[in-house]
Structure 1
């Protein structure tokens, strides 16, 4: 499959969390997922440990089971005070955006088990120093983002999700994860319905940039 004709900046700024535009009916070749993970393995790795592991779930029953846990977690989240729709009440524009995000989160929550491929990046927690929580996650998170960029270039849609971690133990048992292997995210992967994604609305640089001091 040919890659999308995107400049590096276009790839970085248009790789979005895709929820409502995931094609739930089109199979995703496993070889395509492996290509994306191969790219991800070139990401920076703290102390060159590369203590990550990648669980790729394609079995329909396993996907459905994970989807049920995710659906329960999403419903709990959306009922909480800190959910997407309740953020930024003082900023009408951002509040409206967050309400749309909440709608797409609910949509994916009801359909996670139907997504053709679920990718769960994991790390071996025993390989990271206990005193450095940032260093513990600093390898697997860039690698997962590289996976999402590689997927976008191959016309696949993805989304970074972590709500399934409300049921991390149950999902670990379902997938047979060894002791000490922890999950970093749940990344639904499917062909996207269209590839015309655009940069998102973000705060102006001047509001978040600090030079030399706060």
Structure 2
């Protein structure tokens, strides 16, 4: 049970501090601050729980690892269940904290939920949202699988992965709020409801497709180091 517990805690932390930065401090720290909150939370967990579970804290990452052949289906399922539960718990605690001020309402301020279209940030189309989430997740999982593979400098993996998440957020917050992580999206959406729930399919399907594509390329050896190099 050590690995699922670690994944629960890691995903809980990512949602609480990443989405929390947007909800509780977004007006003060802006897009850049929110981006770094997500990335730094991931870096912290990579070194905190990475030695236990590998710090996937993301169902799409786990599916990518499974597709690459580095993890079996049974263990992967336990990770995904724990990650989803962690994302929901993180969103719930954030809601309890945010509700401690009279200036906050769930309907008005939300929980950092993802979305697209009319009324959401820069109002990008569904096609733009889907394409961004698919491509960003693909590249994210390429970095994860590459930096944790044989021959990679493992001590730097957490930093590389976390900084990649920062860059993804810097580019994509105005497009979708950035998911690249179904558990990060499901947690807030369950409590916000409405449009957030009706749009959740995109923040599950696009990251999953992108992650599986990255994993399969590693499985095929496309990114394997050249032995002669």
The normalised TM-score by structure 2 is: 0.29
The normalised TM-score by structure 1 is: 0.31
Higher relative contact order (CA 8 A, sep 6+): 1
Structure with the higher strand share, 1 or 2: 1
